[in-house]
């Protein structure tokens, strides 16, 4: 009886912790692989100030994927990273609460209850000096915010709120100010930036001039206000190329800016120049592959150079092999290149057939169905099958850009009333779970 009561009390305490295991992250397996790869691409040097947060999330991801010893290692590295980064007289502080909470949960899941209780005792010791028992400590708010940024649009909005709470309590931490703005900008990336976000971005850029990722996003935002930024983009490119290779370096948004507001050819030259400096970096190969895809899609109505198509295909094949567990969108992109360049329709069909036969989670299936529907419409000219796959995508009750896009396409077809499936589409939309 006492043992059962003790176990219940332990589970209650674990459930009340602030850590990755209690934040309702609930990612599917494909999302876990994607996050794992993205965290690896940050690198340790460029992501230094967030190293503890990176290691904690990596530990949680590895645990969810079943790699328990990897999870242990990352949680230990997170604790050490926080101690080194803080560089305080005391090696203990509230910044370790999330790490110890993660370790407590891991020990609990592994049946190591004594070790779990020991971590809970450490948390109790860290929080005794917390002046506010009703408000999360700003360090915990910031780590929760940084973590939520890696998940859904709704969680990104929640992340912005948590960053705001942390900043309100501790307004002098520059990286929190920057990340708050990035959370807002990434949340609204498929729409025009609201004026107040642009102003916040400008202020954050001035306060954090070394954050070149933010600088690239700011230039993108300036173009939405009609400003010419070509000279600034060229100057920023030189700074980005001197930075360590990282998804935090700013190269991705800079290449996107080049592609849309400088020139596609210069974007490709910039990507290839970065690869010449670092020929073995998979993240740069990934960025270069995207540039070539944009170029081919932009020029799809013009005669395409074989060398350009061959380079795009070669890069995508290599990138797929370098990201084997998170390659769904890249395999779809390769199929798009095969189809739209008229390089090999058979190769495009084979990729789609393999993906349709694969074991995808609902989110992955939704992406695939929506993209395949467009392939059927624009390439195969099979409008009825296209409609069927848009309906398959829309029927999956996961809110996403892909679902919204498929629903919009179905609504347009219904409203034009020219397709023999209009009645079926109307009935489907009327009964759709939203």
* pLDDT, tens digit (0-9, with 9 covering 90-100), for 51-89: 999 999 999 999 999 999 999 999 999 999 999 988 765
Q: Rounded to an integer, what distance in angstroms lies between the CA atom of residue 414 and that of residue 100?
A: 55
Q: Rounded to an integer, what distance in angstroms lies between the CA atom of residue 423 and that of residue 429?
A: 10
Average pLDDT over the chain reads: 92
Backbone angles phi, psi at 375, to 5 degrees: -60, -45
Q: What local confidence, expressed as pLDDT, does residue 193 receive? A: 57
CA nearest neighbour of 308 among 290, 321, 295: 295
Average the pLDDT over each of 186-195, 246-255, 334-343 and give the range with the smallest value: 186-195
DSSP 379-400: TS--HHHHHHHHHHHHHS---S
Q: Rounded to an integer, what distance in angstroms lies between the CA atom of residue 271 and that of residue 330?
A: 17
* pLDDT, tens digit (0-9, with 9 covering 90-100), for 139-164: 999 999 999 999 988 899 999 999 99
Q: What local confidence, expressed as pLDDT, does residue 205 receive? A: 95
CA nearest neighbour of 279 among 313, 237, 245, 254: 245
């Amino acid at each position: 009886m006492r043992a059962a009561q003790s176990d219940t009390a332990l589970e209650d305490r674990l459930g009340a912790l602030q850590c990755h295991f209690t934040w309702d992250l609930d990612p599917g397996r494909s999302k876990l692989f994607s996050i794992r790869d993205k965290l690896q691409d940050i690198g340790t040097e460029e992501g230094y100030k967030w190293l503890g947060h990176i290691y904690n999330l990596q530990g949680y991801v590895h645990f969810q994927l079943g790699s328990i010893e990897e999870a242990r290692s990352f949680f230990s590295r997170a604790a050490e990273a926080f101690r080194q980064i803080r560089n305080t007289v005391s090696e203990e502080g509230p910044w370790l609460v999330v790490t110890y909470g993660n370790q407590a949960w891991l020990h609990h899941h592994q049946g190591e209850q004594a070790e779990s209780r020991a971590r809970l005792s450490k948390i109790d010791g860290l929080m005794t000096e917390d002046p506010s028992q009703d408000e999360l400590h700003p360090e915990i708010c910031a780590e929760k915010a940084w973590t939520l940024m890696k998940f859904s649009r709704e969680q990104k909005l929640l992340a912005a709120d948590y960053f705001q709470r942390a900043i309100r309590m501790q307004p002098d931490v520059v990286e929190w100010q920057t990340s708050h703005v990035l959370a807002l900008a990434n949340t609204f990336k498929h729409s025009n930036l609201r004026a107040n976000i642009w102003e916040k971005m400008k202020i954050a850029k001035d306060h954090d001039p070394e954050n070149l990722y933010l600088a690239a996003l700011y230039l993108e935002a300036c173009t939405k206000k009609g400003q010419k930024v070509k000279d600034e983009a060229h100057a920023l490119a030189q700074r980005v190329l001197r930075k360590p290779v990282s998804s935090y370096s700013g190269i991705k948004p800079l290449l996107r800016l080049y592609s849309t507001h400088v020139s596609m050819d210069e974007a490709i030259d910039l990507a290839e120049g970065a690869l010449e400096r670092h020929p073995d970096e998979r993240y740069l190969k990934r960025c270069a592959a995207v540039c070539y895809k944009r170029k081919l899609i932009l020029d799809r109505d013009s005669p395409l150079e074989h060398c350009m198509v061959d380079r795009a295909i070669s890069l995508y094949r290599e990138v797929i092999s370098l990201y084997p567990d998170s390659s769904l969108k890249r395999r779809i992109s390769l199929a798009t290149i095969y189809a739209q360049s008229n390089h090999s329709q058979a190769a495009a069909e084979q990729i789609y057939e393999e993906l349709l036969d694969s074991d995808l989670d609902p989110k992955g299936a939704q992406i695939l169905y929506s993209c395949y529907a467009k392939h059927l419409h624009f390439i195969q000219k099979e409008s009825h099958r296209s409609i069927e796959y848009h309906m398959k995508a829309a029927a999956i009750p996961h809110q996403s850009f892909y679902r919204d896009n498929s629903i919009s396409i179905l609504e347009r077809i219904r409203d034009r009333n020219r397709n023999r499936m209009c009645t079926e589409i109307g009935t489907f939309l009327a009964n759709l779970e939203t």
